[in-house]
Amino acid sequence: MKNNRVIVAGGAGYIGSHVCVDLINNGYDLLVIDDFSNSSPESLNRVREITQLTDQSRLGLLQADLASPADYQKIVDTIKLYKPAGAIHLAGLKAVGESVAEPGRYYRININATHTLIDGLDQADGRMIVFSSSATVYGDHNKSPVDETGRTGPTNPYGQTKFFIEQILTDTAISNPHWKICNLRYFNPVGADVSGLIGEDPNGIPNNLFPYIAQVAIGRREKLSVYGDDYPTPDGTGIRDYIHVCDLANGHVKALNFLEQDGNNGSHIFNLGTGVGVSVLDAVKAFEKASGKKVPYEIIQRREGDIAEIYADASQANKILGWQATRTMDDMCRDHWHWQSQNPNGYGDIKDDNKL
């Protein structure tokens, strides 16, 4: 009988919670490992609500820090006891600017977390990992659409950790042919589950475009700063490949299904994007249309480290995994707005409600 148990490291986060929903809907049983350093346990309650989970044992939780030596043994022992088929690995720090200011912290946490997970899975005989890598590993070296053979060269410590972890996982698969690895290079995830119950809830001032636009639309911030309109793009603003987080989540299920098949040992890389490039001003217009709100903006200077344009060639994921993004920019804006307008302060509202 197929082993349906999967560890979801970082499962309470923005992408992780959407991955949990899709895995549960596809019959998997989960053990989430999360320290809630950049997430809320409430997201897992919402996952239970969305999936109408009656058997609570299908979504277990270990609150622990995968990067902490103090938690190492507890985590490895718990994974051994759980006996999973493998893991989805989304645990780590992800703020580009912060990684430039605190590189040691980024290297230590993101890489140590990976080693703990590898050790636990190795000892549990569950040698399968789907890893949340990033298009950031391509840096500024390629003409878009970029495929998986594109030149790599991340431009900041956060991106370097993604690149190094891909290497660590690949070397692990070389050392022991039982290992099965998928490195998923995400483009720019946005949107939310159609229920509006889970979504992105950044700490403090958002770094990324969509959460910032959404907070302007809801009135939490006055205006968006557009980082430069002098790029060599049609309207001068940066072009990215925005992908609906539910399409992205489904890519993990498809990757897991692929690894489960006999013979797919070793390490694989897949871009997950739509293949469509959208400018900052296009995104603002689409969000205004979906929300019915004005999003005031001003053009300021370029943000250091930004590139003009990147979008995916995701044909490998289509060919090998049978995966394709199906949701449009309008869907992304509608669902992002639905989440934001139902939860103006993210999961923070829950903490406040509990005080009453």
Given the rule CB under 6 A, which of 1-9, 74-82, 131-139, 194-202 is the region that contacts ligand UFG? Answer: 131-139
> Using the rule CB under 6 A, is 134 a contact of ligand UFG?
yes
> Using the rule CB under 6 A, is 142 a contact of ligand UFG?
no
From 100, 122, 227, 276, residue interacting with ligand UFG (rule: CB under 6 A): 227
> Using the rule CB under 6 A, is 233 a contact of ligand UFG?
no
CB 255 → ligand UFG: shortest distance, Å?
18
Q: Which residues of 30-56 are buried (b: 16+ CB within 10 A; e: fewer)?
A: bbbbbbeebbbebbbebbbebbebeee
Tell which positions 2-21 bind ligand UFG, by CB under 6 A.
Answer: none
Give the whole-angstrom CA distance, residue 279 versus residue 256: 32
CB 21 → ligand UFG: shortest distance, Å?
22
Give the whole-angstrom CA distance, residue 12 versus residue 125: 25
From 17, 160, 172, 188, residue interacting with ligand UFG (rule: CB under 6 A): 188
Which residue from 174, 73, 156 is spatially nearest to 116, judged by alpha carbons?
73
The structure tokens 């739509």 sit at 274
> Using the rule CB under 6 A, is 135 a contact of ligand UFG?
yes
> Using the rule CB under 6 A, is 94 a contact of ligand UFG?
yes
Element (H, E) at 90: none
Strands (E), 245-355: 266-272, 278-279, 297-300
> Using the rule CB under 6 A, is 229 a contact of ligand UFG?
no
Tell which positions 297-316 bind ligand UFG, by CB under 6 A.
Answer: 303, 306
Tell which positions 250-289 bind ligand UFG, by CB under 6 A.
Answer: 280
For residue 90, the Cα-to-chain-centroid distance in whole angstroms is 7
From 136, 155, 183, 250, residue interacting with ligand UFG (rule: CB under 6 A): 136
Strands (E), 18-163: 29-34, 59-63, 86-89, 128-134
State yes or no: is 231 an active-site residue.
Answer: no
Given the rule CB under 6 A, which of 18-26, 43-51, 223-231, 331-339 is the region that contacts ligand UFG? Answer: 223-231
> Using the rule CB under 6 A, is 209 a contact of ligand UFG?
yes
> Residue count at the site for ligand UFG (CB under 6 A)?
19
Give the whole-angstrom CA distance, residue 136 versus residue 186: 8
CB count in 10 Å sphere of residue 321? 23
Phi, psi of 345 (to 5 degrees): -110, 30
CB 207 → ligand UFG: shortest distance, Å?
6
For 238-274, give the DSSP string: -EE-EEEHHHHHHHHHHHHHHHHSTT--EEEEEEES-
Pattern of binders to ligand UFG over 14-53, x per CB under 6 A?
Answer: ----------------------------------------
First-to-last C-alpha distance (Å) of the chain: 48
Q: Shortest Cβ contact with ligand UFG: which residue?
A: 238
Active-site entry in 72, 82, 158, 186: 158
| Phi-psi sector, 196: left (phi>0), alpha (psi -120 to 50), beta | left
Active site residues: 158
Name the site residues for ligand UFG (rule: CB under 6 A): 94, 96, 134-136, 188, 207-209, 212, 224-227, 238, 240, 280, 303, 306
